[in-house]
Chains A and B, each alone.
Chain A
Amino acid sequence: IAGITQAPTSQILAAGRRMTLRCTQDMRHNAMYWYRQDLGLGLRLIHYSNTAGTTGKGEVPDGYSVSRANTDDFPLTLASAVPSQTSVYFCASSASISGGNEQFFGPGTRLTVL
């Protein structure tokens, strides 16, 4: 693994189904983030984790949950998918939340909820 990976690359999901998007980084970064990107809107933060064992809510957390059991993995779960959750989901990580530490992004998961 090099950098940050996400799975699946894309998914079509029936409304009401449960779905977990996976994210793994091998850079030993402390902070990790989940964003959604919709046409015409900026990236919006769903949830974040400043360090393993802690998580926080971002701008649009409703309908999503996360866990951070270890440094490398940060899965995002949709408990019961709805069509408004159709979006491109990006996972990102950074060494820390402060300073000039840039966020590195995974390749994204394109999710369609029907």
Chain B
Amino acid sequence: GQNIDQPTEMTATEGAIVQINCTYQTSGFNGLFWYQQHAGEAPTFLSYNVLDGLEEKGRFSSFLSRSKGYSYLLLKELQMKDSASYLCAVRDSNYQLIWGAGTKLIIKP
């Protein structure tokens, strides 16, 4: 079966750095996405990786290793508004997104 694993919850301090890991086992691979979802709201796109390596976008970076079935999302200079759930999703061989359950990130002052 297809599976996306990410930690259920993480806590970090304002101004610090946090890394959210995602491991996957899917039938085929056509890209990996990270989304942010604030409580009660819709998911919004953060990043896309299809080749191995690091993609940087401001305070957020995303890394991919296809051989290891592994990705992480790195958030720097954490702000209180970064408190949200972070969703990892892999596009499989049928071009459908398979979603992880999300990681709830709690930022403390």
A50 and B95 CA atoms in complex are apart in Å by 10
Interface residues of A, count at CB 8 A: 21
A44 and B37 CA atoms in complex are apart in Å by 15
Given the contacts A100-B48, A100-B50, A102-B33, A45 and B97 also touching, CB distance less than 8 Å: yes
Let me know if B20 is at the binding interface, CB within 8 A: no
Inter-chain contacts of B44 with A (CB < 8 A): 105
Inter-chain contacts of B50 with A (CB < 8 A): 100
Spot the interface stretch: B57-65, B76-84, B98-106.
B98-106
Let me know if B11 is at the binding interface, CB within 8 A: no
Inter-chain contacts of B30 with A (CB < 8 A): 98
Let me know if B73 is at the binding interface, CB within 8 A: no
B101–A41 CB distance below 8 A: yes
A44–B95 CB distance below 8 A: no
A59 and B99 CA atoms in complex are apart in Å by 11
Given the contacts A98-B30, A100-B48, A100-B50, A106 and B42 also touching, CB distance less than 8 Å: yes
B45–A102 CB distance below 8 A: yes
A45-B97, A58-B96, A59-B96 are known; give 16 further A-B pairs, CB within 8 A.
Answer: A42-B98, A42-B99, A42-B102, A43-B43, A43-B87, A44-B99, A90-B42, A99-B31, A100-B48, A100-B50, A102-B45, A103-B45, A103-B97, A106-B42, A107-B42, A108-B41
Let me know if B107 is at the binding interface, CB within 8 A: no
Let me know if A53 is at the binding interface, CB within 8 A: no
Q: Binary interface profile of B, 25-63, with partner A (CB < 8 Å = 1, else 0)?
A: 000001101000000011111001010000000000000
